[in-house]
Chain A
Amino acid sequence: MGKKIRIVDTTLRDGMHAVAHQFTPEDMAEIALKLDEAGVDTIEVSHGDGLGGSSFQYGFAAASDQEYLEAVSKVLKRSKLAVLLLPGIGTQEHLEMAAQYGAKVARIATHVTEADVGEQHIKLAKKLGMEAIGFLMMSHMVDKEKVVEQAKLFESYGADTIYVTDSAGALAPNEVRERIEAVKKAVSVPIGHHAHNNLGLAIANSLAAIEAGADIVDGTCKGLGAGAGNAQLEVLAAVLNKLGYETGIDLYKIMDVADDIVAPKMKRPQVIDKNSLSIGYAGTYGSFLLHALRASEKFGVDARDILIEMGRRKTVGGQEDMIVDVAYELSKKNQMIDKTGLQIG
């Protein structure tokens, strides 16, 4: 029997970005029930930007965190319920609420250089009896030494698991491999990887992570997620199955959830288009996509220019407000060009 790989489904969290956070609690319960039956180990449920993410800044969700968690917790039989929390957006109060609704896993997500803002949340999660995961976002922005330093911080706070996350879908397989290998060597807890598909590498990167020693990988049905989406779960399950890894997932059942339950709820095709490709190419946070499209329309500038400028300014996860700022500046610059007649007509 092959190595056991734990799968975390994030259709009901990262997938929320792709539907502008508009899944209803009923949608979530329906999907979660089928994911549970398909044998998915852990199911993450939250606003796309984590608990407390419902806002002007990130978009208001169709329902409250409580309503989502309540709906999903009622249908789960085997799968563990997980939540995501970004310190600075969500607070310990949200974590306590989630624990009350049966969440067993708390993923505490910080920018890859800022693990120390998550110390109090990791400790609270442990106190509440939850599995605490330190989730290092935008790991492409630093070298492996920095990732190791921050992973060790999370381990020192008591994290049970450390994730090396490619929030921008900007890493190539060799870059995933070197980060995972280095972290695996430095800490004694299980390691996870969360991939995005902006460069078409989500499955390849998940495999590279596993080969480098990762024990957990994330995926979403139909690849639903920020930017060009995540590792497509049914594809991941098939690939891992073929290579002899044990995921506990029933392949036909997960294919059915993706095609029959999730696909009809999608608002737009989950593809790599010029904008999501620009995200991966520029190394910009995946969740910026829909915000950039809206700003592009409002200010009459190319969404790619916005996304690439966001990358140039080294923005991090959560800085959605900067998109408006950048779009506004780009539109002013274009107006100046129009007025001075510099533009070639």
Chain B
Amino acid sequence: MSKKIKAAIVGPGNIGMDLMYKLIDSKYIELDSVIGIDPNSNGLRLARENGFKTFHTGLEAIIGNKDIKIVFDATSAKAHLKHAEMLKNDNKIAIDLTPAAVGPYVVPPVNFDENVDSININMVTCGGQATIPIVAAINEVADVEYAEIVATISSKSAGPGTRQNIDEFTETTSKAIEKVGGAKKGKAIIILNPAEPPIIMRDTVHVKVANPDEKAINDAVINMVSKVKEYVPGYQLKVPPIIDGDKVTVMLEVEGAGAFLPKYSGNLDIMTAAAKAAGEKIAQRLLEKE
């Protein structure tokens, strides 16, 4: 077996656990530890059952452990502000799944290469991971003046963190549509739907373009969908680009892999899948350097 880079997850909630199950079969990452603050939490119990080291004393537990090179933070924005500083001082790379955005926004198929040497990267939001690749792909061929995305997720897949701070989603996603997607102006809308059985995450991308070349847009979108599919198998083009004057509309559906969380929560799946994809690229690079 080839050598792998050791990593840890801090925050054993839904996102942390889904990521844990995804990292089990990673080619480049060896998950070493899972860190929480409650020894009796379900997450730490699952981590123990899966043979990982667990700590319930917070991130301090692995500070100084030189073997762990990458830490995935699935806690909260507030906690990450503290963690970011600790990880930086300990020479660990942080992959931030919270909305803290200490480091640059990263959407793997769009701008990973630009941020390959960053010591802290932020995974934006679920809606951002699902839609920004499409905005960027259209921008490449048609010059996006305005991009608006609508993410509809099942109520069941929106945790208390998202609910109590829903503005964080709209604001972060809007900014990343501009910074990463390349739109001159970005807007994000999120809708929670309580239907039972829960709906699968769906995303709509509306853009206004300077150059509505139908074939170029179609090709760019289809090509990008297949790139995202490489790390999010449940990512699907629901309605191919509808071009109406200078307006282009694309509809997507994201079904989760069902590793830990149910399949309808594609919104959580795409976050952990993107974090894993970014983590693997970083690990690969670290291995090349060795």
Chain B binds chain A = yes
Complex Cα spacing A55 to B187, Å: 8
B120 interface residue per 8 A CB criterion: no
Contact of B171 among A56, A91, A314, A324 (CB under 8 A): A91
B236 interface residue per 8 A CB criterion: no
Which residues in chain B, 154-201, are within 8 Å of chain A measured between CB atoms? Answer: 155, 160, 163-167, 169-171, 187, 189-195
Min CB distance A111 to B, Å, is: 7
Minimum CB distance partner of B191 in chain A: A318
Known contacts A88-B191, A89-B189: A119-B164 contact under CB 8 Å: yes
> What residues of chain A lie closer than 8 Å to B169, measured between beta carbons?
88
Contact of A321 among B155, B165, B247, B251 (CB under 8 A): B251
**In contact, B167 and A91 (Cβ under 8 angstroms):** yes
Complex Cα spacing A314 to B195, Å: 6
> What residues of chain B lie closer than 8 Å to A322, measured between beta carbons?
152, 202
A316 interface residue per 8 A CB criterion: yes
**In contact, A114 and B155 (Cβ under 8 angstroms):** yes
Min CB distance B161 to A, Å, is: 11
**In contact, A325 and B191 (Cβ under 8 angstroms):** no
**In contact, B189 and A88 (Cβ under 8 angstroms):** yes
Known contacts A91-B171, A120-B165: A56-B206 contact under CB 8 Å: yes
Complex Cα spacing A325 to B187, Å: 20
Which residues in chain A, 298-322, are within 8 Å of chain B measured between CB atoms? Answer: 313-316, 318-319, 321-322
Can you name 25 A-B pairs with beta carbons within 8 Å? A55-B189, A55-B206, A87-B167, A88-B169, A88-B170, A89-B189, A91-B167, A91-B170, A111-B192, A114-B155, A114-B192, A114-B194, A117-B192, A119-B164, A120-B164, A314-B195, A315-B193, A315-B195, A316-B192, A316-B195, A319-B152, A321-B152, A321-B206, A325-B202, A328-B242
> What residues of chain A lie closer than 8 Å to B204, measured between beta carbons?
57, 321, 324-325
A residues with CB within 8 A of B: 55-57, 87-89, 91-93, 111, 113-114, 116-117, 119-120, 313-316, 318-319, 321-322, 324-325, 328
**In contact, B191 and A113 (Cβ under 8 angstroms):** no
**In contact, A328 and B239 (Cβ under 8 angstroms):** yes
Known contacts A55-B187, A324-B242: A111-B194 contact under CB 8 Å: yes
**In contact, B194 and A325 (Cβ under 8 angstroms):** no
> What residues of chain A lie closer than 8 Å to B249, measured between beta carbons?
56, 321, 324
**In contact, B194 and A318 (Cβ under 8 angstroms):** no
Complex Cα spacing A78 to B249, Å: 44
Contact of B189 among A111, A313, A318, A328 (CB under 8 A): A318
Min CB distance B262 to A, Å, is: 18
Known contacts A87-B167, A116-B163: A57-B148 contact under CB 8 Å: yes
> What residues of chain A lie closer than 8 Å to B163, measured between beta carbons?
114, 116-117, 119
Min CB distance B266 to A, Å, is: 16
> What residues of chain B lie closer than 8 Å to A314, measured between beta carbons?
193, 195
Min CB distance B212 to A, Å, is: 14
Known contacts A87-B167, A114-B192, A324-B242: A57-B150 contact under CB 8 Å: yes
Min CB distance B201 to A, Å, is: 13
**For the complex of A and B, 8 pairs with smallest distance between CB atoms:** A56-B206, A314-B195, A321-B204, A91-B167, A113-B194, A88-B190, A318-B191, A116-B163
Minimum CB distance partner of B195 in chain A: A314
**In contact, A120 and B195 (Cβ under 8 angstroms):** no
B238 interface residue per 8 A CB criterion: yes
Q: Beta-carbon contacts of B43-79 to A below 8 Å, as 1s and 0s?
A: 0000000000000000000000000000000000000
Contact of A113 among B148, B155, B187 (CB under 8 A): B155
Q: Beta-carbon contacts of B226-263 to A below 8 Å, as 1s and 0s?
A: 00000000000011001000010101000000000000
Complex Cα spacing A223 to B12, Å: 52
Interface majority SS (helix, strand, loop, mixed), chain B = strand
Complex Cα spacing A195 to B151, Å: 28
> What residues of chain A lie closer than 8 Å to B152, measured between beta carbons?
319, 321-322
Contact of B239 among A93, A318, A324 (CB under 8 A): A324
Complex Cα spacing A252 to B204, Å: 47
**In contact, A55 and B148 (Cβ under 8 angstroms):** yes
What 15 additional pairs, Cβ within 8 angstroms, besides A114-B155, A319-B193?
A: A55-B148, A57-B189, A88-B192, A89-B170, A91-B167, A92-B167, A120-B165, A313-B195, A315-B195, A316-B192, A319-B152, A319-B191, A322-B152, A324-B239, A325-B239
Complex Cα spacing A87 to B192, Å: 10
Minimum CB distance partner of B171 in chain A: A91
Residue from A57, A88, A116, A313 having most chain B Cβ neighbours under 10 A: A88
> What residues of chain B lie closer than 8 Å to A316, measured between beta carbons?
191-195
Complex Cα spacing A116 to B165, Å: 10
Minimum CB distance partner of A313 in chain B: B195
**In contact, B206 and A120 (Cβ under 8 angstroms):** no
Minimum CB distance partner of B167 in chain A: A91
Minimum CB distance partner of B194 in chain A: A113
Complex Cα spacing A56 to B150, Å: 10
> What residues of chain A lie closer than 8 Å to B208, measured between beta carbons?
56
> What residues of chain A lie closer than 8 Å to B238, measured between beta carbons?
325
Complex Cα spacing A91 to B172, Å: 12
Known contacts A57-B204, A111-B192, A316-B194: A325-B167 contact under CB 8 Å: no
**In contact, B150 and A120 (Cβ under 8 angstroms):** no
Complex Cα spacing A117 to B191, Å: 10
Min CB distance B50 to A, Å, is: 32
Complex Cα spacing A321 to B150, Å: 8
Complex Cα spacing A116 to B170, Å: 16
Minimum CB distance partner of A56 in chain B: B206
**In contact, A56 and B148 (Cβ under 8 angstroms):** yes
Min CB distance A56 to B, Å, is: 4
> What residues of chain B lie closer than 8 Å to A116, measured between beta carbons?
160, 163-164
Minimum CB distance partner of A57 in chain B: B150
**In contact, B148 and A120 (Cβ under 8 angstroms):** no
